[in-house]
Amino acid sequence: MEINFINGFEIIGADTRNYNGKLETPIGTSFLNTLNCIEDIISILEKHSNKYKGNDKKIKNEYTLLEIISDINKDLIRLNLDAVFVNLIADIIYDSNIKYIETITYDLFFYSLTNLLNDIAHSKIILDIHFKYMKRKELLWIEIPSCIIYESYIDKLNNVIQKKENVIIDKKAYHKTYNTVYKIEKIQHYFSAYFKYFLDNKIQINVCNNCGKYFIPSNRKDEKYCNNPSPQNPKKTCKEYGVKKIYRDKLNSDLIRKSHYNTSQYFRMKINRCKNEVEKEKIIKEFERYKANYEKNKNKFNKKKITEDEFSNWIVKQKEINKEEGDKSEHKRKRKK
């Protein structure tokens, strides 16, 4: 199996020496999705392996083996994993068992899945360490499988042509690039090939502070939130949810800001519920008066003329005063009627 990297894109399952077409899949997109689903992958493989533990019945033919692998693949495909990874899993299971066909038992097949699970879990632990210290290239944990470098050319529309002896290249229309073909035979090869590409091309990988998944930042390298649906609210991205969470956390940790926010929201709510323009104008004036007095008291607080508790209590009291005055006005109106 091969993974082919061309000029920042990947082509799967094709001999790129004969490739001439447009490149559409950015490197890393499908890989990160697979990396983020490792726990689910392990869970699926454990579920299937547990079916066969202790079963001494023999797997009699290749067809039965392929049926088992197909069932595993169906569950993996539901996770929207990288196709290369799913095919690699199938190839590893097939290659490790086909040589024993007609003699291998389901119990021994269980152990082949256990070995695969151990490789995946170990790769995840190592990659977690590496992504944390990505700037240190010497941390690369495994020798990358030998790769072939093909000389290629690419135009402005991302059309690729492989250089052959009998092909004349119009160097004005094309510029030189390189195609790296990684030979993938093990789980470790799959992860390390992508990881090396990220290192060599200085592609930043961050961990989302909200969902905990890996992502490639779209703008700034220090982005803390990804654009995937938020676990708390799928209608919002982690980035949208995270910004509001930061604001809420700051609000809740700041007594004065929280009190000011609640009092301001009280006035805004009263303005929206006004039954006529006269009443609305009155509340707006009260709100403006509150804001002006708030700035005066804030200035006193900054100069340490009043304490945080005194300032906060004054803010809360403005809402209570307004409520009392509103209740009195409502009582007078009812008495007139």
What per-residue confidence (pLDDT) applies to 326? 58
CB count in 10 Å sphere of residue 127: 19
What per-residue confidence (pLDDT) applies to 128? 76
Distance in angstroms (rounded) separating the CA atoms of residues 18 and 297 = 75
With H, G, I as helix, E, B as strand and everything else as coil, classify residue 160. strand
Distance in angstroms (rounded) separating the CA atoms of residues 195 and 15 = 22
Runs of H (alpha helix) within the chain = 29-36, 38-49, 62-77, 83-98, 106-132, 187-200, 238-253, 255-272, 277-302, 308-336
Distance in angstroms (rounded) separating the CA atoms of residues 235 and 225 = 15
DSSP state for residue 203 in the 8-state scheme: -
Distance in angstroms (rounded) separating the CA atoms of residues 228 and 281 = 44
253-277 pLDDT, tens per residue? 577 777 888 888 888 888 888 888 8
What per-residue confidence (pLDDT) applies to 332? 53
For the chain, helix, strand, coil in percent to 5 are 55, 10, 30
| Cross-strand pairs, 148 | 181
CB count in 10 Å sphere of residue 231: 12
Dihedral angle of Cα 128, 133, 134, 137, to the nearest 10 degrees: -110
Q: Are 210 and 231 in contact (CB under 8 A)?
A: yes
Distance in angstroms (rounded) separating the CA atoms of residues 215 and 35 = 10
Distance in angstroms (rounded) separating the CA atoms of residues 225 and 239 = 5
Q: Are 251 and 261 in contact (CB under 8 A)?
A: yes
Under-50 pLDDT residues of the chain: 12-25, 139, 141, 165, 331
Tell me the whole-structure pTM to 2 decimals. 0.61
Give the pairing type, strands 2-6 and 175-183: antiparallel
Q: Is 264 exposed, middle or buried (0-12, 13-18, 19+ CB in 10 A)?
A: middle
207-260 pLDDT, tens per residue? 888 888 888 887 777 788 888 888 888 888 888 887 777 656 665 557 777 788
DSSP state for residue 157 in the 8-state scheme: T
